[in-house]
Structure 1
Amino acid sequence: MGAHPSGGYILDELHVGMTAEKTVEMTEQRIQQFADASDDFNPVHMDEAFASKTAYRGRIAHGLLSASFGSAVVGTILPGAGAIYLHQSLAFEKPVRIGDKVTARVTVAAVDLESARVTLKTEGYIGDTFIMGGEAIVRVPRRRRPAKD
């Protein structure tokens, strides 16, 4: 599924089962930029010599960097523009390394018309390998803003 022409879905347009995804390559530059933005310079992410002596036997990307690709789906595709995160649970199953292509998949699990909240199943994959999963609750606009003249 691609982005809605308006830049986002409103509450009435969403239904259980809608799915969208985005694939992003993990790069050295992304890891460095995330470390700079988050101030998380854990050597397991930044220092190959240190990371090679850990259980991961080499550098791994920040888990929240990989999870942020799901945030990109929520904010730009499904539900898209105007969606506001209220809650996110996450469980990480496998590490992500430089060069991996991470696919973030978001699926509508429930729509609450009364509260204008949508529950989303959030998943991450490298190829067919499941690397992370969770659930998000987002607030979704009930109507579109009129176009500015």
Structure 2
Amino acid sequence: MFELVTQHPSGGYILEELHAGMAAEKVIHVSEERIQQFAEASDDFNPVHLDEAFASKTAYRGRIAHGLLSASFGSAVVGTILPGAGSIYVSQTLAFHFPVRIGDDVVIRITVLSVDQESARAELNCEGFVEGKLIMDGIAVVRVPRRRKPSSR
């Protein structure tokens, strides 16, 4: 069971506002342009991602998105929605179950599993879905701010 939340008005939830069960979702479209940009940013030019003729002869029978491109969508949720601005990744486990293809819409769901007030860290369940099918999952640990910065006014 989870409680979907939206972005906090300040841009991020502080540690004291987090509790187990809070969740956030974001839908991200996988386009040709995203795959090209990720290849450039990561220097990963594996032809299974970029060359249809090559990829069509693989077990995937066509091009697939970089696994870490899809995984990076979780960072978009962690850094902008839950916990949001100021949160920092400490660790992340990942398991990939099915490939993501050009044209897919990936639904990323981040759910708070636990909050450790002493270490200022939260454990998050990270899941990605395409058409309701779990395509990847893992557990992240993030450091969460204890308080908001004072207004600059």
Is the structural similarity TM-score above 0.5? yes
Match of 1:100 among 104, 107, 111: 104
How far the C-alpha of 1:29 sits from its partner, in A, is 0.1
Tell me if 1:142 matches 2:153: no
Match of 2:45 among 22, 41, 44: 41
Output the CA distance in 2 between the equivalents of 1:4 and 1:12: 13
Tell me if 1:13 matches 2:21: no
Q: Aligned runs of 1:55-70 on 2, under 5 Å? A: 55-70=59-74
Output the CA distance in 1 between the equivalents of 2:89 and 2:28: 21
- Counterpart amino acid of residue 43 in structure 2: D
Which stretches of structure 1, 4 residues or more, deviate above 6 A after TM superposition? none
Per-residue CA distance 1:15-62 (angstroms, 9 max, x = gap): 000000100110000000000000000000000000000000000000
Q: Aligned runs of 1:48-127 on 2, under 5 Å? A: 48-127=52-131
How far the C-alpha of 1:141 sits from its partner, in A, is 0.3
Partner-residue secondary structure (3-state), 2:113: strand
How far the C-alpha of 1:2 sits from its partner, in A, is 1.4
Q: Percent identity?
A: 70
Number of paired residues? 149
Output the CA distance in 1 between the equivalents of 2:148 and 2:74: 23
Gaps of 5+ in 1: none
Gaps of 5+ in 2: none
Please report the TM-score for the alignment, with normalisation by the length of structure 1: 0.99
Please report the TM-score for the alignment, with normalisation by the length of structure 2: 0.97
**Cα-Cα RMSD:** 0.4
